[in-house]
Amino acid sequence: MGGQVGHAGSLRKPTGRVGSVEPALHELTATQALARMRQARLSPVALVEALLERIAEQDPVLKAWVALDRDGSLAAAHAAERAWRDGTAGPLCGIPVSIKDLLFTRGLPTGANFEPFKDRDPGMDATCIARLRAAGAIVLGKVQTTQFAGRDPSPTCNPWDLARTASGSSSGSAVSVAARMVPVSVGTQTGGSIIRPAAYLGVVGFAPTYGRVSRSGLLPRSFSFDTIGAMSRSVDDAELMFGVMAGPDPRDASTRLQRRAGKSRRAAERPPRLRLVEDFLERATPDTSMRFTATIDRLAASGARVKRARLPVALDLLLAIHTTILFCEAAASQSTLLPLHRQHYAPGLLAQLDLGNAIPARPYLQAQRVRRRVRARLATLFRGVDALVLPSMPDGAPDRSTIGLHFCQVPWTIMGWPAATLPIGLNR
């Protein structure tokens, strides 16, 4: 598994009673909330009411939410309360979630930050959303995305420092979790759109293996790369979300090629074997490099075996493969809408679509061929190790004019490999 370690781009901490003996309800992780519900110490209704209050307090400034389902979420919370009482609670019963506004969600608009779609209710749930609801999760509402998951910044603000980017494309997902407006969120990644905002906002981000989670009901950007994953404030919560969302779906052919991978007892019992990919560390700022190296040293001191290696393929080649395939497939996905609504497209996305339409078939096909060829060479990085480690970002969050760099995430996205980011500190 291609693991990454990241840090928040922050100068100040979101408000909240962190460190209190009995944390405020909005501070609870999903795992903590479930434990309290199991012990009849927490009402799902009280949790939803507390989070709605938190959203009313925070979101006028942060602008993470596109649509809230107050009545529906409270009704679902009462149903969850009954399920806990009746002994029929599912694995996520009573846990509020936010949904990136690219995924079909019954009863709520799926707008993709695109004016013509602003009030468009798909009348159905994406497969992953249907599975979350079936597990008892409560859909609190939809959160912001960059337009069609492009690179034009969304209106969402960074809760750690309003002058810095909230990144993208899963900006609303990351902010809703980081600002304690919801414990978990569903995001998507086509380049680095889970890992990057999660790293900038100081939360856990998990982008699973391509095809593990059905994309049925996702507005597409690139069918070769689009992946649905989770953001949370703990690894346990990300694992909970993935366990519910993953699995074959007849409506997404890519999921039928996947088999659920289990953790072997042998791997779980021995110290982890890690490989640090030096190319990315060399491109990091001194502050990021220092914090990352200190984290690796702590892992080694705790028993992890750390080896070092360099990419066996030029990073610039990997970025070129991603750009060529992404631009072409993004243009194909918008081929019907673009002629009808050209004036509504954000400038950065529009430029990408025009470039994608101008690329002949031959470079696209060649990029796909090279992508397959480099897979075997990149796979050599995993010989004798369990995971790769590298900085999730080369620096903390930049200003709001950009969503940040994606070169730390792209290699694993184009290979369809899983990636996770964990917060390790605050940049200065």
Query: Catalytic: which of 10, 63, 100, 185?
Result: 100
Query: Catalytic: which of 98, 154, 167, 169?
Result: 169
Site of tokens 């569903």: 186
d(CA 176, CA 174) in angstroms, rounded, equals: 6
100 in catalytic set? yes
pLDDT mean across residues, the chain: 93
Residue 358 burial (CB count, 10 A): 10
In sequence order, the 6+-apart residues with CB closer than 8 A to the CB of 25 are 33, 42, 46, 47, 50, 51
> Is the Cα torsion angle 422, 193, 164, 176 positive or negative in sign?
negative
* CATH classification (class only), 2-15+24-248: alpha beta
CB of 52 closer than 8 Å to CB of 73: yes
Q: Is the pLDDT at 423 greater than 50, yes or no?
A: yes
Q: Which of 383, 421, 340, 331 minimizes the C-alpha distance to 115?
A: 340
Residues found in the chain = 428
Q: Is the pLDDT at 413 greater than 70, yes or no?
A: yes
What is the structure's pLDDT at 11?
33
232 in catalytic set? no
Give all strands (DSSP E) within 132-202, no chain letters. Answer: 138-143, 184-189
d(CA 3, CA 96) in angstroms, rounded, equals: 27
In which element (H, E) is residue 420 found? Answer: strand 419-421
d(CA 289, CA 260) in angstroms, rounded, equals: 35
Least confident of 48-57, 197-206, 259-268: 259-268
- Specify the 3-state DSSP secondary structure of 148: helix
Q: Which of 179, 143, 183, 231 minimizes the C-alpha distance to 48?
A: 183
What is the structure's pLDDT at 4?
66
222 in catalytic set? no
Scanning 95-233, the segments in alpha helix (DSSP H) are 127-134, 171-178, 195-201
Which amino acid is residue 413, in one-letter code? T
pLDDT, tens digit (0-9, with 9 covering 90-100), for 137-160: 999 999 999 999 999 999 999 999
CB of 287 closer than 8 Å to CB of 428: yes
Domain range annotation of the chain? 2-15+24-248
- Supply the pTM of this predicted model: 0.94
Q: Is the pLDDT at 12 greater than 60, yes or no?
A: no
Which of the four pLDDT bands, split at 50, 70 and 90, describes residue 22?
confident
pLDDT, tens digit (0-9, with 9 covering 90-100), for 342-401: 999 999 999 999 999 999 999 999 999 999 999 999 999 999 999 999 999 999 999 999
d(CA 120, CA 103) in angstroms, rounded, equals: 12
What is the structure's pLDDT at 164?
97
Which amino acid is residue 324, in one-letter code? T
What is the structure's pLDDT at 265?
53
Query: Catalytic: which of 193, 214, 232, 392?
Result: 193
- Specify the 3-state DSSP secondary structure of 372: helix
